Structure 1
Amino acid sequence: MTTREHSLYGPLADPAANAGHLDHPPRVGFFTDTSVCIGCKACEVACKEWNNVPEDGLNLLGMSFDNTGMLGADSWRHVAFIEQERPLGRQDAGLGELPTGPSVTEAAAETVAEALRGTQRAGGDLGTAPVDLGFPSFDLPGRTPGEHERTEFRWLMSSDVCKHCTHAGCLDVCPTGALFRTEFGTVVVQADICNGCGYCVSGCPYGVIDRRHGDGRAWKCTMCYDRLRGGLDPACAHACPTQSIQFGPLDELRERAAQRLDQLHAAGVPEARLYGADPGNGVGGDGTFFLLLDEPEVYGLPPDPVVPTRDLISTWKHVGLAASGLLAAAVLAFAGRGGR
């Protein structure tokens, strides 16, 4: 079995090594704790600024504050805003004691604690205390006669990004070698080699990668590969004020995520769950994973992502057997006619 076949279909605990990086640093990734995301979009701005990603999402009509709408060639980071008719609950539990990682400054604990204090409104948690809108709130959830306020809602905010899959469908189907696996285990597009065929777009189980309008080439998050090579953190993680986006060695992030999940469950938030952290999922585990407060579909994430090339070898084996059977049948038919 070749290295490429092994990376496609065999166990792959070390994608960088299987891509030929024999002496490489630990695999790195993102852990996004959506329970502390405040929807500031600092990650979107930092990503665009550092990577020269064109502006988009300037039309706010019909999409609330979710102006980018979805990931794409011009949106390598997308902050989702989902409003639900339910109180915030205890998702802020243990925030002050949340472990910090390599991308966090010494002042992170105070920054997070300050962000937590900022969620207090009129003596209650965000979403559970009256909020004066300044205008009549006709038929808004939580409204009672004579009040212009909302009392029973919460925002689910999450900064989505490329998952840098262990089994990367985009990488598998690229015919030009424009996509490659880095020494950090991430997946990067080389725009100067991309021919715009679009195979990678259909090969991504998350719908992340996209072709740029007017350009035709594929673009997506590189996890700031140039910054990683210079010993720096990705721009989005560096800019996140609440450490919702945490960057570091993937094994350490998984341990940290498990601790945070235990904190939330102990605080009475049973709906909290990890998404993408399981190495046994349909893409062999993600280099970017999330702590969610609802079902993945609520955030626009597939519940059971599967790399499209998963069954490629077995499919070709069946095609080969079928072709061999047809060939044998044809030979027998011609041999029978010759005998007559």
Structure 2
Amino acid sequence: MGFFTDTSVCIGCKACEVACKEWNVIPDDGLSLLGMSYDNTGMLGADTWRHVAFIEQDKPLGRQNNAVGSMPTAATATRASADAVAGGLGDRHGAELGTDTGGRHPVGSADASLPGPVTADGRKELRWLMASDVCKHCTHAACLDVCPTGSLLRTEFGTVVVQEDICNGCGYCVPACPYGVIDQRKDDGRVWKCTLCYDRLGAGQEPACAKACPTDSIQYGPLDELRERAAERVDHLHDAGVVEARLYGADPDNGVGGAGAFFLLLDEPEVYGFPPDPVVTTRDLPRMWRHTALAAAGVAATVLAAFLGGRR
């Protein structure tokens, strides 16, 4: 089981953040805007298991220009005809055009297909990319490899959870995570992260964040079904002219064997703070142990030879 997060329909409402905190009784944090738009949490951490990123870019979104260029002129425009154009971008999600397109280029403008100033002083509207980030619940999770107490474990749902009552605060899992998800609380040193609402799953309920998402940007279910649904969504967006749409973390052959929480992105992964090519950070441990064993054997042989030579 896992998450598919479609960032193309995320509205940045932070309902997922609030639901996550309320259900899991997570301490408050992020009470300052940090000087970063409406991003008041900054990143995932021990007290932020869901983080809604706000990324501002001074460029239009592909579907906005394409859709607005297709709008009928002001003389013939009707709500029905506008809805028909928006509907081409996705059945229920056509409304994601919102007021962005109307604000950027009024219907019937002479230059509707090109980005331009939208205010009297010449300022351009920013493109906002919004994405709700979470633990990726990797198929090959390095955090599991390095945990000495068994605090981190794989559940029957295929997710990765922390048993905080047996975490000794060693922190080995923190640098092992290729996504920088796992974090320690400053008061006791134990690590905390998304559990994919393990207690809710056991009761046949969906995670709190997915339940609270008003646009179905966060979708929960069997990974195979989610991957199929995500591929269809990407094809739909490509057909609508959103050529930058892509999946991240959905490929079972990627560096972590596929993520249990993957995303539809509208730009390069680095724009969202994701590593472009994540790898299992413990992948070289077997080779390192072999080299260490060979080196130790060599040292032991040298010491033994010196000892025997000295006796002779």
Answer yes or no: is the 8 Å Cα contact 2:140–2:256 preserved in 1. yes
Within 5 Å, which residues of 2 pair with 1:172-211?
A: 172-211=145-184
1:25 corresponds in structure 2 to none
Amino acid paired to 2:264: L
Q: TM (normalized to structure 1)? A: 0.78
Secondary structure of 1:279's counterpart equals coil
Q: Are positions 1:116 and 2:96 aligned together?
A: yes
Residue 189 of structure 2 corresponds to: 216
Q: Which residue of 1 aligns with 2:233?
A: 260
Q: Offset of 1:59 from its aligned partner? A: 0.5
Q: Select the residue among 104, 108, 123 that pairs with 1:128.
A: 104
Deviation (angstroms), 1:95: 5.1
**By how many angstroms is 1:337 displaced?**
4.1
The DSSP-based 3-state class of the residue aligned with 1:247 is strand
CA deviation profile, 1:267-306 (whole Å, cap 9, x unmatched): 2222211111111222111100011111111101111112
The alignment status of 1:32 with 2:11, answered yes or no, reads no
CA drift at 1:338: 4.1
Corresponding position: 1:73 with 2:46: yes
2:280 aligned with 1:307: yes
Helix, strand or coil at the partner of 2:291 = helix
Deviations 1:201-256 (A, max 9, x none): 11111110111122321110000000000000001011111111111000011111
- SS of equivalent residue, structure 1 residue 81: strand
Give the drift of 1:128.
2.7
Q: Within the alignment, does 1:275 sit opposite 2:245 as a pair?
A: no
The answer (yes or no) to whether the contact 1:30–1:250 under 8 Å persists in 2 is yes
**1:177 CA drift (Å):** 1.4
Q: 1:242 aligns with which of 215, 219, 239?
A: 215
Cα displacement (A) at 1:187: 0.6
Q: Do 1:32 and 1:245's aligned partners in 2 also have CA atoms closer than 8 Å? A: yes
Q: How does 1:311-322 map to 2 (within 5 A)?
A: 311-322=284-295
Deviations 1:30-76 (A, max 9, x none): 01111111111111011111111111111114111000100001110
Counterpart of 2:224 in 1: which secondary structure? helix
**How far apart, in 2, do the equivalents of 1:150 and 1:193 lie?**
55
Cα displacement (A) at 1:327: 2.2
Alignment partner of 1:297 is 2:270: yes
Q: Distance in 2 between matches of 1:199 and 1:74?
A: 19
Q: Which residue identity lines up with residue 195 of structure 1 in the other structure?
A: N
Task: Quickly say closer, same or farther: Cα 1:93–1:193, change in 2 above 3 A.
Answer: farther
Task: Give me the whole-angstrom Cα distance separating, in 2, the residues matched to 1:94 and 1:185.
Answer: 36
Quick check: 1:78–1:161 contact (8 Å CA) kept in 2?
Answer: yes
Seq. identity, %: 72
Question: Structure 2: which amino acid aligns with 1:177?
Answer: G
TM alignment of 1:321-340, pairs within 5 A: 321-339=294-312
* 3-state SS, counterpart of residue 47 of structure 2: coil
Question: Which SS does the other structure have where 2:104 is aligned?
Answer: coil
Give SS of 2:148's match: coil
Name the residue aligned to 1:22: none
Contact 1:73 1:219 (8 Å CA) reproduced: yes
Give aligned pairs, total: 283
Kept in 1: contact 2:56–2:128 (CA 8 A): yes
Backbone CA RMSD of aligned residues: 2.2
Choose 86-95 or 210-219, whichever is displaced more: 86-95
> Aligned partners of 1:254, 1:291: CA distance in 2, in Å?
10
Tell which deviates more after alignment, 77-86 or 262-271: 262-271
Instruction: Tell me the SS of whatever aligns to 1:90.
Output: helix
Post-superposition offset of 1:150: 4.4
1:229 is the counterpart of 2:205: no
Distance 2:207 2:229 in 1: 19
The aligned residue for residue 132 of structure 2 is 159
Normalising by the residue count of structure 2, what TM-score does the alignment of the two structures yield?
0.84
**Alpha-carbon distance in 2 for matches of 1:79, 1:234:** 16
**Distance (whole Å) between structure 1 residues aligned to residue 254 and residue 90 of structure 2:** 32
Q: Which letter does structure 1 place at the counterpart of 2:12?
A: G
Q: Which segments of 5 or more consecutive residues in structure 1 lack a partner in the other structure?
A: 1-27, 98-108, 131-140
Distance 1:325 1:302, change over 3 A: same
Provide the C-alpha distance between the structure 1 equivalents of 2:136 and 2:221, rounded to a whole number of angstroms: 14
Q: Residues 223 and 239 from structure 1, CA distance in 2 versus in 1: closer, same or farther, beyond 3 angstroms?
A: same
